[in-house]
Structure 1
Amino acid sequence: MELQVNGHRAYAYTGGKPFDATKPTAVFIHGVLNDHSVWILQSRWFAHHGWNVLAVDLPGHCRSDGTPPATVEAAAEFVLALLDAAGVARAALVGHSFGSLIALEAAARAPERVTHLALVGTAYPMAVSPALLDSALNAPQKAIDMVNAFSHSMLAPPPSSLGPGTWLMGGSRALMRRVLASNTAVNVFHTGFKACNDYAGGEAAMAKVRCPVLFLLGSADQMTPPRATKALRDLAPGARVVTVKAGHALMSEAPDAVLFALRDFLVS
């Protein structure tokens, strides 16, 4: 599905079903150097079980035009503008990593428009090491290898979201190379990491959230360790916390566990 958002074409995957603004809507927001495809299993399940799905490509990524958001705040404004363009008054927001900060900030800016907030593989602060920031800018292929080593709990996880015969780390590296190559004007890798590293509004944002909150975390996550959610969890005492056996790439390493956690949270 293509929408005009802030004067630019924005792409959102709908899970193979026609979009119907009268149904409940879930917006899935990817992380740095990813696109809508990281949500393939989860988005398709919701689309085939009575939900609208908008699994977005952020601006300047893959099938979406425009300038890649340089801040979490700018990305949150894009998400709210996307809802306007789709004619959706209220939606559940599901974000992974960078996307979780975007979802959090959007829920704070327009609490009346967000029914549920699911923070997947999140942390606050979401600090990025100087070495990784430098590599993302000056040696992105090296940084891609580093991120994938940190994002997966093992070199060869059991068959999961893509089925037998696939290699999750290899597939993730290929996706990141493709997303990086999709924008020749801006390094979306460094831009996204810097936005994560610079974001200082997490605690203020969580204090403004008025909807149910889910923290969906990977027990072996080295990029955003579960302990790094404490600052946000302390401000959301009623939040649900689910930890699955996976690394940072938990949607692909533990796709069923992630799906069931989201289903139980959004459908309850």
Structure 2
Amino acid sequence: MKWLVNGREAYTYTGGKAFDPTLPCVVFIHGALHDHTVWTLLARWCAHHGFGVLAVDLPGHMKSAGPALESVEAMAEWVLALLDAAEVKQAALVGHSMGSLVALEAAGRAPDRVSKLVMIGTAYPMKVSPALLEMSKNDPLAAIDLVTTLSYSSIAQKPGYPGPGVWVRGGGKALGRMVLAKQGNALLYHQDFVACNGYAGALDAAAKVTAPATLICGRRDQMTPPKAAAEIGTALKARLETVDAGHVLMAEAPDEVLNALRKALV
């Protein structure tokens, strides 16, 4: 579904159902160099169980017009503007990796508009190594390959996992390449990483959040290991759910993540 947000076209996946702003709303926010497709299972479940779903493509990512936004704070303001465009008064915000920081910042900026906060594969601070920042700028395809290697645990190595015909590592690599190529912005990965690396407002935002918070972490996550989420989890007084997966846990442990999300949305 397409919206006009801040004068530019924005795309959201609605889970296979027409969006109804009168239903309890769930907004899904993807991570660096991802798009709405990382949420397909979760978005479809919510849309078919009484929720209105907005799984976003952030500006400059896949189907949403650019330019890409250069800070977590700007992305959070964009999410709140999307709620205005969709005539949504209050929503649950669910974010993965970079998107988890965006969800947190939005919840801190407008606590009355957020009913639940779910941060998946999160960390604070979400620092990116200088080597990876440099690689994402000068050789983004190599950066995609490296991050793919680090983002999926050993349980996801075999083809046909988690079901026949599925290769999550190959799918993850292909998604990054497609998002990078879609709007011809060779610096998109670098911009996303710079936004993660530069975000310093998580604890201030957490102090303003009034919604119940849940952290869903991957036990085998090398990018944002569970211990890296401890400080922000304490600040939010969040419930912690841990699943046996790496960083892109929605792909590696889809049923477990769905179950954790269902509990968080209750």
TM-score category (smaller protein) = over 0.9
CA contact (8 A) 1:160 1:255 kept: no
Aligned residue number for residue 235 of structure 1:
235
The answer as to 2:248 corresponding to 1:249 is yes
Aligned residue number for residue 53 of structure 1:
53
**Residue 211 of structure 1: how far off its partner (Å):** 0.4
CA contact (8 A) 1:218 1:243 kept: yes
Closer, same or farther: CA 85–184 of 1 in aligned 2, 3 Å: same
Alignment of 1:1-268 (within 5 A): 1-154=1-154, 156=157, 159-160=160-161, 163-185=163-185, 187-237=187-237, 239-266=238-265, 268=266
Measure the CA separation in 2 of the matches of 1:174 and 1:76: 27
Which ranges of structure 1 fall in alignment gaps of 5 or more residues?
A: none
SS of alignment partner, residue 53 of structure 1 = strand
Measure the CA separation in 2 of the matches of 1:186 and 1:77: 24
Measure the CA separation in 1 of the matches of 2:225 and 2:157: 20
Code of the residue aligned with 2:187 in structure 1: it is N
SS of alignment partner, residue 17 of structure 2 = coil
Measure the CA separation in 1 of the matches of 2:158 and 2:263: 25
Deviations 1:14-36, CA, capped at 9 Å, x for gaps: 00101111100000000000000
**Residue 187 of structure 1: how far off its partner (Å):** 1.7
**Residue 174 of structure 1: how far off its partner (Å):** 0.4
**Residue 188 of structure 1: how far off its partner (Å):** 1.2
Q: Root-mean-square deviation (CA), in Å?
A: 1.1
Measure the CA separation in 2 of the matches of 1:5 and 1:186: 24
Measure the CA separation in 2 of the matches of 1:66 and 1:6: 11
Q: Give the TM-score of the pair, scaled to structure 2.
A: 0.97
Code of the residue aligned with 1:43 in structure 2: it is A
**Residue 160 of structure 1: how far off its partner (Å):** 5.0
CA contact (8 A) 1:68 1:186 kept: no
Measure the CA separation in 2 of the matches of 1:124 and 1:156: 28
Measure the CA separation in 2 of the matches of 1:148 and 1:185: 20
**Residue 186 of structure 1: how far off its partner (Å):** 5.5
**Residue 113 of structure 1: how far off its partner (Å):** 0.0
Code of the residue aligned with 1:51 in structure 2: it is F
Which ranges of structure 2 fall in alignment gaps of 5 or more residues?
A: none
SS of alignment partner, residue 166 of structure 2 = coil
Matched positions, count: 265
CA contact (8 A) 1:59 1:67 kept: yes
Measure the CA separation in 2 of the matches of 1:124 and 1:157: 31
CA contact (8 A) 2:161 2:167 kept: no
Q: Give the TM-score of the pair, scaled to structure 1.
A: 0.97
CA contact (8 A) 1:157 1:253 kept: no
**Residue 56 of structure 1: how far off its partner (Å):** 0.3
Measure the CA separation in 2 of the matches of 1:160 and 1:88: 37
Which structure 1 residue ranges, 4+ long, deviate > 2 Å from structure 2? 157-161
CA contact (8 A) 1:91 1:115 kept: yes
Closer, same or farther: CA 253–11 of 1 in aligned 2, 3 Å: same
Deviations 1:175-210, CA, capped at 9 Å, x for gaps: 000000012145210000000000000111111100
**Residue 159 of structure 1: how far off its partner (Å):** 4.5
**Residue 66 of structure 1: how far off its partner (Å):** 2.5
Closer, same or farther: CA 52–159 of 1 in aligned 2, 3 Å: farther
